[in-house]
Chains A and B, each alone.
Chain A
Protein backbone atom coordinates (compact mmCIF):
# COMPACT_ATOMS: atom_id res chain seq x y z
CA UNK A 1 0.00 0.00 0.00
CA UNK A 2 2.65 2.47 1.10
CA UNK A 3 5.08 1.05 -1.40
CA UNK A 4 2.61 1.59 -4.16
CA UNK A 5 1.89 5.18 -3.20
CA UNK A 6 5.53 6.08 -2.81
CA UNK A 7 6.50 4.32 -5.97
CA UNK A 8 3.84 5.99 -8.07
CA UNK A 9 4.70 9.40 -6.73
CA UNK A 10 8.39 8.89 -7.31
CA UNK A 11 7.77 7.99 -10.91
CA UNK A 12 5.51 10.97 -11.40
CA UNK A 13 8.05 13.33 -10.09
CA UNK A 14 11.11 11.96 -11.72
CA UNK A 15 9.30 11.73 -15.03
CA UNK A 16 7.94 15.24 -15.45
CA UNK A 17 9.35 18.65 -14.76
CA UNK A 18 5.97 20.36 -14.75
CA UNK A 19 3.82 17.76 -13.13
CA UNK A 20 0.18 17.50 -14.00
CA UNK A 21 -0.75 17.75 -10.39
CA UNK A 22 0.39 21.33 -10.09
CA UNK A 23 -2.19 22.42 -12.60
CA UNK A 24 -5.22 20.91 -10.95
CA UNK A 25 -5.69 21.65 -7.26
CA UNK A 26 -8.02 18.71 -6.74
CA UNK A 27 -5.54 16.27 -8.15
CA UNK A 28 -2.80 18.02 -6.28
CA UNK A 29 -4.36 17.57 -2.90
CA UNK A 30 -4.80 13.86 -3.39
CA UNK A 31 -1.20 13.69 -4.51
CA UNK A 32 -0.24 15.64 -1.42
CA UNK A 33 -1.74 13.14 0.89
CA UNK A 34 0.03 10.31 -0.88
CA UNK A 35 3.28 12.26 -0.66
CA UNK A 36 2.74 12.85 3.02
CA UNK A 37 2.32 9.13 3.53
CA UNK A 38 5.43 8.49 1.54
CA UNK A 39 7.46 10.91 3.60
CA UNK A 40 6.27 9.36 6.74
CA UNK A 41 7.34 5.98 5.46
CA UNK A 42 10.70 7.37 4.49
CA UNK A 43 11.32 8.85 7.88
CA UNK A 44 11.03 5.45 9.51
CA UNK A 45 14.29 3.62 8.87
CA UNK A 46 13.36 0.02 9.47
CA UNK A 47 10.56 -0.40 6.98
CA UNK A 48 12.02 2.01 4.47
CA UNK A 49 14.29 -0.52 2.84
CA UNK A 50 11.26 -2.55 1.98
CA UNK A 51 9.19 0.35 0.85
CA UNK A 52 11.48 2.33 -1.40
CA UNK A 53 11.05 1.94 -5.13
CA UNK A 54 12.73 -1.34 -5.98
CA UNK A 55 15.38 0.24 -8.17
CA UNK A 56 16.74 2.16 -5.24
CA UNK A 57 17.41 -0.72 -2.97
CA UNK A 58 20.46 -2.02 -4.78
CA UNK A 59 22.06 1.41 -4.90
CA UNK A 60 24.31 2.91 -2.25
CA UNK A 61 22.52 4.91 0.42
CA UNK A 62 23.30 8.29 -1.07
CA UNK A 63 21.47 7.29 -4.21
CA UNK A 64 18.51 6.17 -2.24
CA UNK A 65 18.39 9.62 -0.83
CA UNK A 66 18.84 11.25 -4.23
CA UNK A 67 16.03 9.16 -5.57
CA UNK A 68 13.57 10.05 -2.89
CA UNK A 69 14.73 13.56 -2.26
CA UNK A 70 12.68 15.30 -4.96
CA UNK A 71 9.62 13.40 -3.84
CA UNK A 72 10.45 14.23 -0.32
CA UNK A 73 10.84 17.92 -0.97
CA UNK A 74 7.60 18.02 -2.87
CA UNK A 75 5.81 16.14 -0.17
CA UNK A 76 7.31 18.25 2.57
CA UNK A 77 6.22 21.31 0.76
CA UNK A 78 2.69 20.00 0.74
CA UNK A 79 2.85 18.92 4.34
CA UNK A 80 4.30 22.15 5.58
CA UNK A 81 1.94 24.37 3.65
CA UNK A 82 -0.95 22.32 4.93
CA UNK A 83 -1.80 21.15 1.47
CA UNK A 84 -2.87 24.61 0.44
CA UNK A 85 -0.40 24.62 -2.42
CA UNK A 86 0.81 27.99 -1.25
CA UNK A 87 0.48 29.60 -4.63
CA UNK A 88 3.58 31.58 -4.44
CA UNK A 89 3.23 29.59 -6.71
CA UNK A 90 3.41 26.46 -8.61
CA UNK A 91 6.60 27.69 -10.24
CA UNK A 92 8.40 27.95 -6.98
CA UNK A 93 7.11 24.60 -5.82
CA UNK A 94 8.55 23.02 -8.91
CA UNK A 95 11.76 24.96 -8.54
CA UNK A 96 12.10 23.56 -5.05
CA UNK A 97 11.59 20.07 -6.30
CA UNK A 98 14.02 19.73 -9.13
CA UNK A 99 17.42 20.97 -8.01
CA UNK A 100 18.41 18.40 -5.44
CA UNK A 101 21.65 20.12 -4.67
CA UNK A 102 20.33 23.64 -4.76
CA UNK A 103 22.86 25.97 -3.17
CA UNK A 104 20.46 27.12 -0.56
CA UNK A 105 20.27 23.70 0.99
CA UNK A 106 23.80 22.44 0.88
CA UNK A 107 25.87 25.53 1.30
CA UNK A 108 27.98 25.17 4.43
CA UNK A 109 27.85 28.90 5.03
CA UNK A 110 24.56 30.28 6.28
CA UNK A 111 22.55 31.89 3.52
CA UNK A 112 20.76 35.17 4.00
CA UNK A 113 17.37 33.56 4.24
CA UNK A 114 16.90 31.78 7.55
CA UNK A 115 16.60 28.02 7.12
CA UNK A 116 12.98 26.98 7.13
CA UNK A 117 11.07 23.96 8.40
CA UNK A 118 11.56 22.25 5.07
CA UNK A 119 15.32 22.64 5.29
CA UNK A 120 15.42 21.08 8.75
CA UNK A 121 13.17 18.22 7.68
CA UNK A 122 15.59 17.37 4.90
CA UNK A 123 18.51 17.44 7.35
CA UNK A 124 16.59 15.20 9.72
CA UNK A 125 15.83 12.72 6.96
CA UNK A 126 19.53 12.54 6.15
CA UNK A 127 20.32 11.96 9.81
CA UNK A 128 17.64 9.34 10.14
CA UNK A 129 18.23 7.41 6.91
CA UNK A 130 21.94 7.88 6.30
CA UNK A 131 23.24 8.72 9.77
CA UNK A 132 24.66 11.76 8.03
CA UNK A 133 26.97 13.65 10.37
CA UNK A 134 27.22 16.76 8.23
CA UNK A 135 23.46 17.21 8.40
CA UNK A 136 23.59 16.51 12.08
CA UNK A 137 26.21 19.20 12.60
CA UNK A 138 24.11 21.71 10.65
CA UNK A 139 21.35 21.02 13.12
CA UNK A 140 23.83 21.21 15.98
CA UNK A 141 25.28 24.53 14.85
CA UNK A 142 21.89 26.15 14.62
CA UNK A 143 20.06 24.71 17.59
CA UNK A 144 22.62 23.94 20.27
CA UNK A 145 23.40 27.58 21.16
CA UNK A 146 19.68 28.25 21.41
CA UNK A 147 19.08 25.24 23.61
CA UNK A 148 22.01 26.34 25.72
CA UNK A 149 20.63 29.86 26.09
CA UNK A 150 17.19 28.53 26.92
CA UNK A 151 18.57 26.33 29.69
CA UNK A 152 20.86 29.04 31.06
CA UNK A 153 17.89 31.43 31.23
CA UNK A 154 16.09 28.84 33.31
CA UNK A 155 18.93 29.09 35.80
CA UNK A 156 20.68 25.88 34.85
CA UNK A 157 24.40 26.14 35.73
CA UNK A 158 26.65 26.36 32.68
CA UNK A 159 28.30 22.96 32.92
CA UNK A 160 24.98 21.22 33.42
CA UNK A 161 23.44 23.20 30.55
CA UNK A 162 26.31 22.04 28.31
CA UNK A 163 25.62 18.45 29.30
CA UNK A 164 21.89 18.75 28.72
CA UNK A 165 22.44 20.30 25.29
CA UNK A 166 24.65 17.36 24.35
CA UNK A 167 22.04 15.01 25.75
CA UNK A 168 19.31 16.71 23.71
CA UNK A 169 21.33 16.42 20.50
CA UNK A 170 22.19 12.81 21.23
CA UNK A 171 18.48 12.18 21.70
CA UNK A 172 17.98 13.69 18.27
CA UNK A 173 20.66 11.42 16.82
CA UNK A 174 19.12 8.35 18.41
CA UNK A 175 15.50 9.15 17.81
CA UNK A 176 15.68 10.93 14.46
CA UNK A 177 13.26 8.42 13.01
CA UNK A 178 10.67 9.49 15.57
CA UNK A 179 10.66 13.01 14.21
CA UNK A 180 7.51 13.62 12.22
CA UNK A 181 7.68 16.92 10.33
CA UNK A 182 3.94 16.81 9.75
CA UNK A 183 3.39 16.92 13.47
CA UNK A 184 5.79 19.60 14.63
CA UNK A 185 8.74 21.61 13.43
CA UNK A 186 12.25 20.62 14.48
CA UNK A 187 12.37 23.68 16.74
CA UNK A 188 9.25 22.53 18.57
CA UNK A 189 10.57 18.98 18.77
CA UNK A 190 13.88 20.09 20.25
CA UNK A 191 12.11 22.46 22.61
CA UNK A 192 10.18 19.48 23.96
CA UNK A 193 13.34 17.44 24.33
CA UNK A 194 15.16 20.23 26.19
CA UNK A 195 12.15 21.04 28.36
CA UNK A 196 11.81 17.37 29.30
CA UNK A 197 15.49 17.08 30.18
CA UNK A 198 15.19 20.23 32.28
CA UNK A 199 12.22 18.86 34.22
CA UNK A 200 13.93 15.51 34.69
CA UNK A 201 17.40 16.73 35.65
CA UNK A 202 16.79 20.08 37.25
CA UNK A 203 13.28 19.96 38.64
CA UNK A 204 13.88 16.33 39.47
CA UNK A 205 10.45 15.01 38.64
CA UNK A 206 11.65 11.43 38.30
CA UNK A 207 8.72 10.10 36.29
CA UNK A 208 8.43 12.89 33.78
CA UNK A 209 10.47 11.37 30.94
CA UNK A 210 8.63 8.03 30.69
CA UNK A 211 5.31 9.85 30.90
CA UNK A 212 6.31 12.15 28.04
CA UNK A 213 7.49 9.15 26.02
CA UNK A 214 4.06 7.66 26.52
CA UNK A 215 2.31 10.83 25.36
CA UNK A 216 4.65 10.96 22.34
CA UNK A 217 3.69 7.44 21.40
CA UNK A 218 0.01 8.34 21.60
CA UNK A 219 0.60 11.30 19.29
CA UNK A 220 2.62 9.13 16.98
CA UNK A 221 -0.08 6.50 16.70
CA UNK A 222 -2.65 9.22 16.20
CA UNK A 223 -0.88 11.08 13.41
CA UNK A 224 -0.23 7.74 11.73
CA UNK A 225 -3.87 6.90 11.84
CA UNK A 226 -5.14 10.23 10.70
CA UNK A 227 -5.24 10.79 7.00
CA UNK A 228 -6.23 14.42 7.24
CA UNK A 229 -3.77 17.29 7.03
CA UNK A 230 -1.69 17.72 10.16
CA UNK A 231 -2.96 20.33 12.55
CA UNK A 232 0.44 21.71 13.29
CA UNK A 233 1.45 22.69 9.79
CA UNK A 234 1.38 26.42 9.92
CA UNK A 235 3.47 29.39 9.13
CA UNK A 236 6.04 29.83 11.90
CA UNK A 237 6.52 33.41 10.78
CA UNK A 238 2.91 34.24 11.59
CA UNK A 239 3.36 32.85 15.08
CA UNK A 240 6.59 34.79 15.46
CA UNK A 241 4.84 37.99 14.41
CA UNK A 242 1.94 37.27 16.72
CA UNK A 243 4.35 36.83 19.65
CA UNK A 244 6.07 40.09 18.77
CA UNK A 245 2.69 41.77 18.50
CA UNK A 246 1.43 40.81 21.96
CA UNK A 247 0.61 43.72 24.28
CA UNK A 248 3.51 44.32 26.70
CA UNK A 249 1.91 42.75 29.76
CA UNK A 250 0.88 39.61 27.91
CA UNK A 251 4.30 39.38 26.27
CA UNK A 252 5.96 39.71 29.67
CA UNK A 253 3.77 36.99 31.18
CA UNK A 254 4.32 34.61 28.27
CA UNK A 255 8.08 35.05 28.54
CA UNK A 256 8.10 34.59 32.31
CA UNK A 257 6.09 31.43 31.82
CA UNK A 258 8.26 29.88 29.09
CA UNK A 259 11.69 31.41 29.42
CA UNK A 260 11.81 31.55 33.21
CA UNK A 261 9.52 28.57 33.75
CA UNK A 262 7.61 30.34 36.51
CA UNK A 263 4.31 29.04 37.80
CA UNK A 264 1.26 31.30 37.78
CA UNK A 265 1.55 31.76 41.52
CA UNK A 266 5.21 32.74 41.24
CA UNK A 267 4.43 35.22 38.46
CA UNK A 268 1.56 36.62 40.50
CA UNK A 269 3.80 37.12 43.53
CA UNK A 270 6.70 38.57 41.58
CA UNK A 271 4.63 41.09 39.65
CA UNK A 272 2.22 41.75 42.52
CA UNK A 273 -0.57 40.96 40.13
CA UNK A 274 -3.66 39.02 41.24
CA UNK A 275 -3.50 35.36 40.24
CA UNK A 276 -6.79 35.71 38.36
CA UNK A 277 -5.35 38.54 36.25
CA UNK A 278 -2.20 36.56 35.48
CA UNK A 279 -4.33 33.70 34.26
CA UNK A 280 -6.77 35.78 32.23
CA UNK A 281 -3.94 37.69 30.51
CA UNK A 282 -2.17 34.45 29.66
CA UNK A 283 -5.45 32.99 28.42
CA UNK A 284 -5.92 35.93 26.07
CA UNK A 285 -2.33 35.68 24.85
CA UNK A 286 -2.66 31.96 24.16
CA UNK A 287 -5.91 32.51 22.26
CA UNK A 288 -4.26 35.14 20.06
CA UNK A 289 -1.24 32.98 19.33
CA UNK A 290 -3.45 30.01 18.51
CA UNK A 291 -5.33 32.14 15.99
CA UNK A 292 -2.02 32.93 14.29
CA UNK A 293 -1.32 29.19 14.07
CA UNK A 294 -4.68 28.54 12.45
CA UNK A 295 -4.37 31.33 9.91
CA UNK A 296 -4.18 29.93 6.39
CA UNK A 297 -1.16 31.08 4.48
Chain B
Protein backbone atom coordinates (compact mmCIF):
# COMPACT_ATOMS: atom_id res chain seq x y z
CA UNK B 1 0.00 0.00 0.00
CA UNK B 2 1.87 3.01 -1.27
CA UNK B 3 0.66 6.44 -0.20
CA UNK B 4 -0.53 8.85 -2.87
CA UNK B 5 -0.27 12.08 -0.94
CA UNK B 6 3.11 12.95 0.47
CA UNK B 7 5.02 15.35 2.66
CA UNK B 8 5.72 18.73 1.14
CA UNK B 9 9.36 19.16 0.07
CA UNK B 10 9.84 21.88 2.65
CA UNK B 11 8.53 19.64 5.40
CA UNK B 12 11.11 17.03 4.40
CA UNK B 13 13.79 19.73 4.38
CA UNK B 14 12.81 20.98 7.81
CA UNK B 15 12.67 17.43 9.18
CA UNK B 16 16.18 16.79 7.89
CA UNK B 17 17.41 20.00 9.44
CA UNK B 18 15.96 19.03 12.82
CA UNK B 19 13.84 22.15 12.61
CA UNK B 20 10.35 20.71 12.37
CA UNK B 21 8.31 21.43 15.51
CA UNK B 22 7.95 18.28 17.63
CA UNK B 23 4.26 17.58 16.95
CA UNK B 24 4.68 17.93 13.19
CA UNK B 25 7.77 15.71 13.33
CA UNK B 26 5.74 12.91 14.93
CA UNK B 27 3.27 12.91 12.03
CA UNK B 28 6.06 13.24 9.48
CA UNK B 29 7.85 10.25 11.07
CA UNK B 30 4.62 8.24 10.90
CA UNK B 31 4.38 8.89 7.18
CA UNK B 32 8.09 8.25 6.57
CA UNK B 33 7.73 4.84 8.17
CA UNK B 34 5.17 3.94 5.52
CA UNK B 35 6.59 5.78 2.52
CA UNK B 36 9.81 4.82 0.76
CA UNK B 37 9.42 7.74 -1.67
CA UNK B 38 9.53 10.28 1.13
CA UNK B 39 12.44 8.45 2.77
CA UNK B 40 14.35 8.81 -0.48
CA UNK B 41 13.65 12.55 -0.51
CA UNK B 42 14.73 12.72 3.11
CA UNK B 43 18.04 11.18 2.13
CA UNK B 44 18.46 13.91 -0.50
CA UNK B 45 17.79 16.50 2.16
CA UNK B 46 20.29 14.83 4.51
CA UNK B 47 22.91 14.98 1.76
CA UNK B 48 22.41 18.74 1.64
CA UNK B 49 22.83 18.90 5.41
CA UNK B 50 25.98 16.81 5.18
CA UNK B 51 27.54 19.08 2.57
CA UNK B 52 26.63 22.23 4.50
CA UNK B 53 28.13 20.77 7.65
CA UNK B 54 31.36 19.86 5.88
CA UNK B 55 31.67 23.22 4.14
CA UNK B 56 32.36 25.02 7.39
CA UNK B 57 35.84 26.27 8.02
CA UNK B 58 37.44 24.58 10.98
CA UNK B 59 40.72 24.02 12.76
CA UNK B 60 42.34 20.68 13.36
CA UNK B 61 41.37 19.01 16.63
CA UNK B 62 43.48 19.72 19.69
CA UNK B 63 45.82 17.02 20.94
CA UNK B 64 44.03 16.65 24.24
CA UNK B 65 40.71 16.15 22.45
CA UNK B 66 42.31 13.43 20.32
CA UNK B 67 43.72 11.78 23.43
CA UNK B 68 40.32 11.92 25.10
CA UNK B 69 38.73 10.26 22.10
CA UNK B 70 41.31 7.48 22.09
CA UNK B 71 40.76 6.96 25.80
CA UNK B 72 37.07 6.50 25.09
CA UNK B 73 37.89 3.84 22.51
CA UNK B 74 40.00 2.06 25.12
CA UNK B 75 36.99 1.99 27.37
CA UNK B 76 34.80 0.44 24.68
CA UNK B 77 34.12 -3.25 25.02
CA UNK B 78 36.02 -5.44 22.56
CA UNK B 79 34.52 -6.17 19.21
CA UNK B 80 30.87 -6.55 19.62
CA UNK B 81 29.48 -5.55 16.30
CA UNK B 82 25.77 -4.98 16.23
CA UNK B 83 23.77 -7.86 14.87
CA UNK B 84 22.94 -7.34 11.23
CA UNK B 85 19.53 -5.76 11.04
CA UNK B 86 16.76 -8.25 10.79
CA UNK B 87 14.80 -8.06 7.62
CA UNK B 88 11.77 -6.12 8.60
CA UNK B 89 8.67 -7.98 7.66
CA UNK B 90 5.99 -5.50 6.89
CA UNK B 91 3.04 -7.64 7.73
CA UNK B 92 -0.09 -5.78 6.84
CA UNK B 93 -1.41 -5.21 10.32
CA UNK B 94 -4.14 -2.64 10.06
CA UNK B 95 -4.41 -2.42 13.82
CA UNK B 96 -0.82 -1.33 14.41
CA UNK B 97 -0.22 2.38 14.74
CA UNK B 98 2.99 3.83 13.22
CA UNK B 99 5.95 3.62 15.64
CA UNK B 100 6.27 7.36 16.20
CA UNK B 101 2.75 7.41 17.65
CA UNK B 102 3.38 4.66 20.20
CA UNK B 103 4.75 6.90 22.96
CA UNK B 104 1.71 9.14 22.68
CA UNK B 105 -1.16 6.82 21.83
CA UNK B 106 -0.02 3.22 22.32
CA UNK B 107 0.34 0.56 19.66
CA UNK B 108 -3.16 -0.42 18.78
CA UNK B 109 -5.79 1.39 16.79
CA UNK B 110 -8.57 -0.72 18.27
CA UNK B 111 -7.43 -0.16 21.83
CA UNK B 112 -7.74 3.63 21.62
CA UNK B 113 -10.03 5.27 24.14
CA UNK B 114 -11.87 8.01 22.36
CA UNK B 115 -13.56 11.06 23.82
CA UNK B 116 -16.47 12.64 22.04
CA UNK B 117 -15.87 16.32 21.45
CA UNK B 118 -18.58 17.17 18.94
CA UNK B 119 -21.34 15.37 17.07
CA UNK B 120 -19.61 12.78 14.90
CA UNK B 121 -16.14 13.78 16.11
CA UNK B 122 -14.02 12.00 18.71
CA UNK B 123 -10.55 12.93 19.80
CA UNK B 124 -7.51 11.92 21.82
CA UNK B 125 -5.10 14.67 22.69
CA UNK B 126 -1.43 13.87 23.28
CA UNK B 127 -0.21 15.54 26.41
CA UNK B 128 3.16 17.05 27.03
CA UNK B 129 4.57 17.08 23.53
CA UNK B 130 5.69 20.65 23.99
CA UNK B 131 6.12 21.78 20.40
CA UNK B 132 2.63 22.22 19.05
CA UNK B 133 -0.46 20.09 19.39
CA UNK B 134 -0.80 16.44 18.50
CA UNK B 135 -4.10 14.61 18.41
CA UNK B 136 -5.97 11.68 16.99
CA UNK B 137 -9.36 12.34 15.45
CA UNK B 138 -12.13 9.97 14.56
CA UNK B 139 -14.75 11.40 12.25
CA UNK B 140 -17.99 9.58 11.52
CA UNK B 141 -18.32 8.09 8.04
CA UNK B 142 -20.07 10.22 5.45
CA UNK B 143 -19.48 13.50 7.28
CA UNK B 144 -19.11 16.68 5.31
CA UNK B 145 -16.72 19.08 6.96
CA UNK B 146 -16.07 22.67 6.13
CA UNK B 147 -12.43 23.33 5.48
CA UNK B 148 -10.80 26.63 5.69
CA UNK B 149 -7.12 27.00 6.26
CA UNK B 150 -5.44 30.12 7.58
CA UNK B 151 -1.85 29.55 6.70
CA UNK B 152 -0.58 27.91 9.85
CA UNK B 153 1.44 24.74 9.76
CA UNK B 154 -0.73 21.71 9.98
CA UNK B 155 0.00 18.13 9.05
CA UNK B 156 -2.59 15.35 8.96
CA UNK B 157 -2.13 11.67 8.20
CA UNK B 158 -4.92 9.19 7.60
CA UNK B 159 -4.64 6.02 9.67
CA UNK B 160 -7.91 4.35 8.80
CA UNK B 161 -10.92 5.12 6.66
CA UNK B 162 -10.69 7.86 4.08
CA UNK B 163 -11.93 11.19 2.88
CA UNK B 164 -12.24 12.93 -0.45
CA UNK B 165 -11.75 16.54 -1.35
CA UNK B 166 -10.77 18.61 -4.36
CA UNK B 167 -7.19 17.33 -4.00
CA UNK B 168 -8.26 13.75 -4.35
CA UNK B 169 -8.84 10.70 -2.26
CA UNK B 170 -6.95 10.44 1.04
CA UNK B 171 -6.62 6.94 2.41
CA UNK B 172 -4.44 5.24 5.02
CA UNK B 173 -0.84 6.47 4.89
CA UNK B 174 -1.68 9.62 2.96
CA UNK B 175 -0.75 12.98 4.43
CA UNK B 176 -2.35 16.35 3.91
CA UNK B 177 0.51 18.82 4.09
CA UNK B 178 -1.10 21.83 2.56
CA UNK B 179 -0.31 25.40 1.92
CA UNK B 180 -2.43 27.74 3.93
CA UNK B 181 -4.52 29.28 1.23
CA UNK B 182 -6.48 26.36 -0.15
CA UNK B 183 -10.11 26.07 0.81
CA UNK B 184 -11.75 22.73 0.44
CA UNK B 185 -14.39 20.50 1.86
CA UNK B 186 -13.41 16.99 2.84
CA UNK B 187 -16.12 14.39 2.90
CA UNK B 188 -15.32 11.25 4.89
CA UNK B 189 -15.96 8.03 3.04
CA UNK B 190 -18.99 5.94 3.93
CA UNK B 191 -18.58 2.71 5.85
CA UNK B 192 -15.87 3.19 8.44
CA UNK B 193 -14.93 6.27 10.46
CA UNK B 194 -12.01 8.30 9.23
CA UNK B 195 -9.21 8.14 11.79
CA UNK B 196 -6.32 10.51 11.41
CA UNK B 197 -3.46 11.98 13.38
CA UNK B 198 -3.15 15.73 13.16
CA UNK B 199 -0.45 18.11 14.31
CA UNK B 200 0.02 21.83 14.43
CA UNK B 201 3.06 23.83 15.34
CA UNK B 202 1.30 26.07 17.85
CA UNK B 203 -2.08 25.69 19.50
CA UNK B 204 -3.29 29.15 18.57
CA UNK B 205 -2.50 28.66 14.93
CA UNK B 206 -4.72 25.65 14.74
CA UNK B 207 -6.83 25.99 11.65
CA UNK B 208 -8.46 24.05 8.89
CA UNK B 209 -11.11 21.41 8.93
CA UNK B 210 -9.94 19.92 12.17
CA UNK B 211 -10.42 23.21 13.94
CA UNK B 212 -13.81 23.68 12.41
CA UNK B 213 -14.83 20.23 13.48
CA UNK B 214 -13.83 21.09 17.00
CA UNK B 215 -15.37 24.54 16.96
CA UNK B 216 -18.52 23.62 18.87
CA UNK B 217 -16.46 22.38 21.75
CA UNK B 218 -13.60 24.79 21.86
CA UNK B 219 -15.62 27.86 21.02
CA UNK B 220 -13.37 29.60 18.56
A residues at B contact (CB < 8 Å): 44-47, 128, 131, 133, 136-137, 140-141, 143-150, 153-154, 162, 166, 169-170, 173-178, 183-185, 187-192, 194-195, 198-199, 203, 205-208, 210-211, 214-215, 217-222, 224, 231-232, 234, 236, 239-240, 243, 254-255, 257-259, 261-266, 275-276, 279, 282-283, 286-287, 289-290, 293
Contact = CB atoms under 8 A, between A and B. Distances in A.
Contacts of B70: 133, 137
Interface stretch (B32-40, B107-115, B158-166, B212-220): B32-40
Chain A contact residues: helix, strand, loop or mixed: helix
B114 to A, nearest CB: 23
Contacts of A293: 44, 47
Nearest to B59: A145
A286 B50 CA distance: 14
A224 B88 CA distance: 11
Contacts of A184: 43, 46-47, 50
Interface string B34-72: 001001110111111111111110111100011011101
Given A205-B25, A276-B181, A231 B56 contact: no
Interface stretch (B14-22, B135-143, B191-199): B14-22
16 contacts: A131-B79, A137-B69, A137-B70, A144-B65, A145-B61, A146-B54, A149-B56, A154-B18, A166-B72, A177-B82, A203-B18, A222-B36, A224-B87, A263-B14, A264-B153, A279-B179
Interface of B: 8-10, 12-14, 16-22, 25, 29, 32-33, 36, 39-41, 43-56, 58-61, 65-66, 68-70, 72-73, 76, 79, 81-88, 99-100, 102-103, 131, 151, 153, 179-181, 201-202
Contacts of B84: 44, 46-47, 177
Nearest to A279: B10
B53 A194 contact: yes
A45 B83 CA distance: 9
Contact of B10 (A131, A261, A264): A264
Q: Which 8 A-B pairs have the closest CB atoms?
A: A188-B50, A145-B58, A191-B50, A187-B50, A45-B81, A258-B17, A261-B19, A149-B56
A185 B50 contact: yes
B39 A147 contact: no
Given A184-B46, A188-B46, A239 B39 contact: no
Given A137-B70, A220-B85, A243-B52, A192 B58 contact: no
A266 B201 CA distance: 11
B87 A221 contact: yes
Contacts of B33: 214-215, 218
Contacts of B13: 257, 282, 286
Nearest to B34: A218
Contacts of B51: 187, 236, 239-240, 243
A169 B52 contact: no
Given A140-B69, A187-B54, A276-B180, A265 B153 contact: yes
A185 B47 contact: yes
B52 A286 contact: no
B35 to A, nearest CB: 10
A274 B140 CA distance: 36
Nearest to B181: A276
| Residue from A150, A185, A257 having most chain B Cβ neighbours under 10 A | A257
B49 to A, nearest CB: 5
B123 to A, nearest CB: 21
B99 A170 contact: no
Given A141-B60, A145-B58, A207 B52 contact: no
B49 A162 contact: no
Given A145-B58, A261-B19, A276-B151, A170 B76 contact: yes
Contacts of B43: 183-184, 188, 219, 231-232
A44 B81 CA distance: 9
A257 B47 contact: no
B68 A191 contact: no
Contacts of A257: 13-14, 17, 19
